[in-house]
Amino acid sequence: MVSVERLKDISREIGCGIVASTTAAGSGHPGGSLSIKNVMAVLFFHVMRHDPSKPEWPDRDRFVLSKGHAAPALYSTLALAGYIKREELYTLRKLCSRLQGHPSRHPGMMIEASTGALGNGFSMAVGMALAAKIDSRAYRVYTVLGDGEVQEGIVWEAAMLASYRKLDNLIAVVDRNGLQLDGPVEWILSVEPLAAKWRAFGWHVIEADGESVDALVRAFEAAIKMRGRPKVIIAHTTKGESSSVMSWNRKYHGSVLDREQCMQYMKENGCGGWNCR
Q: What is the pLDDT of residues 22-72, one digit of tens each?
A: 999 999 999 999 999 999 999 999 999 999 999 999 999 999 999 999 999
Sequence spans of domains, the chain: 4-269
pLDDT at residue 216, as a whole number: 98
Q: What is the pLDDT of residues 117-144, one digit of tens each?
A: 999 999 999 999 999 999 999 999 999 9
Residue 227 CA from chain centroid, whole number: 23
Please determine, for residue 100, whether its predicted confidence score (pLDDT) is greater than 80. Answer: yes
Please determine, for residue 1, whether its predicted confidence score (pLDDT) is greater than 80. Answer: no
In sequence order, the 6+-apart residues with CB closer than 8 A to the CB of 106 are 98
Beta bridge partners of 175: 146, 235
What band does 2 get if pLDDT is binned at 50, 70 and 90?
Answer: confident
pLDDT at residue 114, as a whole number: 98
- The phi and psi torsions of 142 (rounded to 5 degrees) equal -120, 140
- Whole-structure pTM value: 0.97
Query: In 3D, which of 218, 222, 264 has the Cα closest to residue 42?
Result: 218
Mean pLDDT for all residues in the chain: 97
Torsion sign, CA atoms 160, 164, 166, 169: negative
pLDDT at residue 206, as a whole number: 98
pLDDT-above-70 percentage for the chain: 100
Task: Fill in the DSSP letter of residue 237.
Answer: -
pLDDT-above-90 percentage for the chain: 98
Q: What is the pLDDT of residues 185-223, one digit of tens each?
A: 999 999 999 999 999 999 999 999 999 999 999 999 999
* CATH fold label, 4-269: Rossmann fold (3.40.50)
Helix (H) / strand (E) containing 176:
strand 170-176
- The mean per-residue pLDDT over the stretch 9-32 comes to 98
- The mean per-residue pLDDT over the stretch 172-196 comes to 97
pLDDT at residue 94, as a whole number: 97
